[in-house]
Structure 1
Amino acid sequence: MTEALARFATGTNWQDLPPAIVQETKRVLMDSIGCALGASTTDKGRMNVALARRLGGAPDASIIGLGGKVCCTNAAFANGELILTLDFSNIMGGGHDGAYVIPTVLAMAENAGASGRDLILATALGLEISARLARAVGQHNFTVEAVQRRRAQGQGLAGNAYANFGAAAGAARLMKLDADRTAHALGIAGHLCMVLSYGRWSSSLRGHMTKYGVPGWQSTGAVTAALLAEMGYAGDTGVLDDPERGFAYYVGYPSWHPEEITAGLGKDWCFNIKLHYKPYPCCGVFHGPLDCFYEIIEKHNLGPDDIESVTAYCRGHMDSPLFAKKTVDGISDAQFNPGYVFGVAAHRIPSGVEWYDPDTMANPSIRKFGDKVTCRNHPGYGKELEKDPLSALSKVEVVAKGATYTHEVKYRRGSVGTDAALSEREIVDKFRHNAARILTGDKTERALDALLELQELEHVSALMREVTL
């Protein structure tokens, strides 16, 4: 399996990329870089940037939203943490795969003097390999059969450890490693990845900043893997071929379907299936219900004081301790607190870093609104998902002004391949909003020009100049 992925990573060329994949890759890069810009003014963002600067190293690559450079591993660390901090970045594969792949690829592209086309190709390859590993561990289920299989097997341990293969593959491509050394890079990357901590996050009542993974830390493993392979370090090239003691076993994934890794590889791209560009900076569980809530309050001109109660019907596991905490002690708490999320929406706080400004999180009216919010499992969610794997059936009931208003959606806004997909203009506007506190208006527009026409850039450094100070 590792050798097949290495051949795919080294043998796929620019002309092999379907136009739709080129377009989606550019959008994912734009969205991810924008989310990093938005997060750079948060306390969590500042901590990670300060650590990357402290660790320093050779001036190889940039930290998004800042000036100066650090070594590739530390740039990948900081940018990975920034991309995921707001919980605003796109969802694909088994989760926030982009936050685990793009930081490595971006750092190595800048260091290698790569072109825009090189960056697009390496990113697409990395995201595709990540998505295929997600399919193998049962986390990227976009067929009816895969959804039914996952529901029958149960949830089990989850996390983005698999994404390190994609990150290392993208780095190896930019470094022009041959197929043999790329296979070794993948074999090393499979050992330099996170533990599956998603379950710990969902069962914890403490809003720790490690949340459901530390993409920046894992990205240092991908960079390290590619650099070691370049020097001749031997990796575990059989790591994906041993069903009893291989990757899925020692990492802890409960499912392993290796046939999903190579099925149609190079012909049928899948990272863009079930891709979701987030319109709200919070857990994806709330996105469909928030679509419904906004529809109701805008249509009926309801303010927070008009509303007596909100009942949101979401996907399963709403009885998890993760969603039960009533206090908001920091950004990680807020992103998973249903009362807070609907509270900022009711108060029309702009969707972005504004949701996590200290004054917003301390706003007594927003906090009090949380007492009006109840979340339940949508009884039809699972059955609809088995019929249509792109669906995210959601419903909200709002009691206000002596009436009950109800709205239901099948697809959450931002879901690619559905009638709820965001337009390119909306993704561009999201970038502008995320960049507003860091970049000047002129610099933001130059950054957007570079991202929208990325394939025309001779050097990735031209892009990085526009997204740094």
Structure 2
Amino acid sequence: MTQTIVEQLAKFSRASDFATLPSAVVDECKRIILDSVGCALAATNEPKGRIGIDYGRLTGGSGKATIIGTGDQVSMFGAAFANGELINALDMDAVLPPGHVAPYVIPGALAAGETVGASGKDLISAVALAHEMSYRLGKAMDYLRDTKDGKVSPPPVYGYSSTVFGATAAIARLKGGSEEIIANAIGIAGSIAPVNSQVAWFQHAPSSTIKYLLAGALTQAAMTAAHMAELGHRGDVQILDDREFGFPRFIGTRRWEPDGITADLGQVWRFPGESAFKPYPHCRILHALLDCLIEIVEEHDIQPAEIDGIKVWVEGFVEQPVWLNRKIEHVHDAQFSIAHGIALGAHRVTPGKDWQDPELVFGNSVLSLMDKVTHEIHPDYVQLLTGHGASRPAKIEVAARGKTFFGEKRYPKGSPSPDPASTMTTDELVTKFRHNAQGVIPAHNIDSVVASLLDLEHVADIGTVMSKLAGPATEHAHASRDAVAQD
């Protein structure tokens, strides 16, 4: 009897042992985990991050799972919610089709893994299967940067709800679920996935601070699905096979190409080829432009007050309110506004939590320069995008000192592309992590965490790494466990 897609995903999840993973998959998982933890640390004092922490504490009760940057140990439900919000708060986390994946799938894996005493190998396996599954589902559905007949064709309904399947499978696997339990969990996840409300978020500016999908909410759906299956609920294992009534229909995708979800599943790992990292805490649409802008102002030592105007050419689908917004009322708004992002980038502040410092975001220097920023759609956007999927073409002109300075890029820093310089190296990710962690955890822990995460396959209990992610005032909370765990 032919297995359903859900049953095949469950079989893949159960079979994805560390020993079966290619080295490139292992390395990419370690890079993604390192980057995600750093993004979470940087967000502990940001509004979205603080709310996530508060809610995680409120709902978490007692438990063995750590809220990153606090030292608090709560239930896996509370920690997963808080850490999802923390990872995504600065909008600096990794990018993978269907968009963002890490803040939805990593928090549950960390929380479940820490609770059951999982090893680094176990965590890597869970993160790998969750990313591969999310990527394959994302590629089977509408994509935000779709084109049709030579023009941009963004979908009318869109979002990242499909990551709930990988998030659920990772949790269920770490908790030791059988193939049958994982299949039921995945089937339940499809039935309770959050709605895809992202397009509404695009249209309503100033935008909702839950963003394109509240990370904490999806982690809770995944946690619920995994536990309901473990406790005996039966899931809908046909939910991904039914185009008329199943997940593709009610989640709102126009395109559904299910063959790609299961083709060579477990034999060919596809997600590392499109895994990208974000140097800037701003929507990815601006990154190539920020690369150009920062090169110009640094090379010529141009100060913001010297700039008479900045003109940028942007991606074809971004003429929507969330990106056109010039009404900056919340630091969150600064993550998406084209004009504000360019103005802020010209100030040469090291990317990270400082980009959301209210004194910078709402400062006269940034807001006055914002008024001098104009944009047009890049004329070759569709042609370059269809030529290579990593393309995010950008052009910029900076008028200053009576001159015009030009910059142009096709691929932003952080993306795997035909240009080797665009790839973000592990050393560069470590530098980003160190900056994000600075002042949040003790300096002596930063080196230890970096070393452990880059050598994660040799960590016997991931709780020993999580214990080092407490803030300076709370690091003693895990001291006894560290002493016991050391060999």
TM-score between both structures, scaled by the size of structure 2: 0.92
**Cα deviation digits, residues 332-375 of structure 1 (max 9, x gap):** 21111222212222111221110111211221111111011112
How high is the sequence identity, in percent, across the aligned residues?
37
| In 2, Cα distance between equivalents of 1:156 and 1:267 | 34
CA apart distance, 1:248: 1.1
CA apart distance, 1:150: 11
TM-score between both structures, scaled by the size of structure 1: 0.96
Could you say which residue in structure 1 is the equivalent of 2:70?
66
CA apart distance, 1:205: 1.4
Helix, strand or coil: the match of 1:191?
Answer: helix
| In 2, Cα distance between equivalents of 1:305 and 1:465 | 45
**Aligned with residue 445 of structure 1, among 440, 444, 447:** 447
Could you say which residue in structure 2 is the equivalent of 1:15?
19
Q: Does 1:387 align with 2:391?
A: no
Could you say which residue in structure 1 is the equivalent of 2:271?
271
| In 2, Cα distance between equivalents of 1:59 and 1:467 | 16
**Aligned with residue 130 of structure 1, among 130, 134, 143:** 134
Q: Does 1:457 align with 2:459?
A: yes
Helix, strand or coil: the match of 1:83?
Answer: helix
- Contact 1:339–1:367 (CA under 8 A) maintained in structure 2: no
| In 2, Cα distance between equivalents of 1:152 and 1:340 | 24
| In 1, Cα distance between equivalents of 2:15 and 2:381 | 41
Q: Which amino acid aligns with 2:218?
A: Q
Report the CA distance shift for 1:94/1:114 in structure 2 as closer, same or farther (over 3 A): same
Could you say which residue in structure 2 is the equivalent of 1:292?
292
Q: Does 1:409 align with 2:409?
A: yes
| In 1, Cα distance between equivalents of 2:187 and 2:153 | 28
Aligned ranges for residues 80-99 of structure 1 at < 5 Å?
80-99=84-103
Q: Which amino acid aligns with 1:424?
A: T
Could you say which residue in structure 1 is the equivalent of 2:424?
422
Could you say which residue in structure 2 is the equivalent of 1:102?
106
Helix, strand or coil: the match of 1:267?
Answer: coil
Q: What count of residue pairs does the alignment treat as equivalent? A: 465
- Contact 1:318–1:375 (CA under 8 A) maintained in structure 2: no
| In 2, Cα distance between equivalents of 1:363 and 1:154 | 34
Q: Which amino acid aligns with 2:455?
A: E
> Structure 1, unaligned stretches of length 5 or more?
none
- Contact 2:80–2:219 (CA under 8 A) maintained in structure 1: yes
| In 2, Cα distance between equivalents of 1:147 and 1:232 | 44
| In 2, Cα distance between equivalents of 1:210 and 1:150 | 33
- Contact 2:144–2:158 (CA under 8 A) maintained in structure 1: no
Q: Which amino acid aligns with 2:15?
A: G
Q: Which amino acid aligns with 2:358?
A: P
- Contact 1:326–1:339 (CA under 8 A) maintained in structure 2: yes
Comparing 116-125 and 369-378, the one that deviates more: 369-378
Could you say which residue in structure 1 is the equivalent of 2:116?
112
| In 2, Cα distance between equivalents of 1:427 and 1:202 | 29
| In 1, Cα distance between equivalents of 2:282 and 2:232 | 42
- Contact 1:288–1:314 (CA under 8 A) maintained in structure 2: no
Q: Which amino acid aligns with 1:67?
A: G
Aligned ranges for residues 234-249 of structure 1 at < 5 Å?
234-249=234-249
Report the CA distance shift for 1:40/1:149 in structure 2 as closer, same or farther (over 3 A): farther
Report the CA distance shift for 1:151/1:225 in structure 2 as closer, same or farther (over 3 A): farther
- Contact 1:167–1:219 (CA under 8 A) maintained in structure 2: yes
CA apart distance, 1:444: 0.8
**Cα deviation digits, residues 225-245 of structure 1 (max 9, x gap):** 111111221011111010100
CA apart distance, 1:18: 0.7
| In 2, Cα distance between equivalents of 1:313 and 1:15 | 46
| In 1, Cα distance between equivalents of 2:360 and 2:41 | 19
- Contact 2:71–2:469 (CA under 8 A) maintained in structure 1: no
Q: Does 1:79 align with 2:88?
A: no
| In 2, Cα distance between equivalents of 1:81 and 1:300 | 38
- Contact 1:60–1:110 (CA under 8 A) maintained in structure 2: yes
CA apart distance, 1:38: 0.3
- Contact 2:152–2:316 (CA under 8 A) maintained in structure 1: no
Helix, strand or coil: the match of 1:294?
Answer: helix
Helix, strand or coil: the match of 1:272?
Answer: helix
Helix, strand or coil: the match of 1:190?
Answer: helix
